[in-house]
């Protein structure tokens, strides 16, 4: 099992990953931000912290038998 905390200006998310599965433990937006999650399959999760015309995306997935995560910022 792999558990990681991600902190961006838009908030904080804790994500747990095991083979073939990615789960959101918690997601707490910063003041002025909202949080949304998209999970189209068990091993692929995106957490998005949004304010007007600015957002952060934490994309976590189980890929090639290993956990992988990428953080992106758009706008600002």
Give the pLDDT confidence of 27-66 residue by residue, as tens digits.
999 999 999 999 999 999 999 999 999 999 999 999 888 9
Domain coordinates of the chain in residue numbers?
Answer: 2-75
* The predicted structure's pLDDT at residue 46: 98
% pLDDT > 70, the chain: 100
The region that residue 55 occupies, defined by phi over 0 for left and psi between -120 and 50 for alpha, beta otherwise, is: beta
Measure the CA–CA gap between 17 and 59, rounded to whole angstroms. 12
């Amino acid at each position: 099992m792999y558990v990681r905390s991600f902190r961006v200006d838009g908030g904080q998310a804790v994500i747990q990953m095991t083979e073939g599965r990615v789960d959101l433990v918690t997601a707490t937006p910063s003041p002025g931000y909202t949080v949304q999650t998209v999970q189209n399959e068990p091993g692929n999760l995106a957490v998005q912290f949004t304010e007007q015309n600015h957002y952060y995306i934490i994309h976590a997935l189980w890929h090639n038998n290993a956990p992988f995560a990428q953080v992106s910022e758009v706008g600002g």
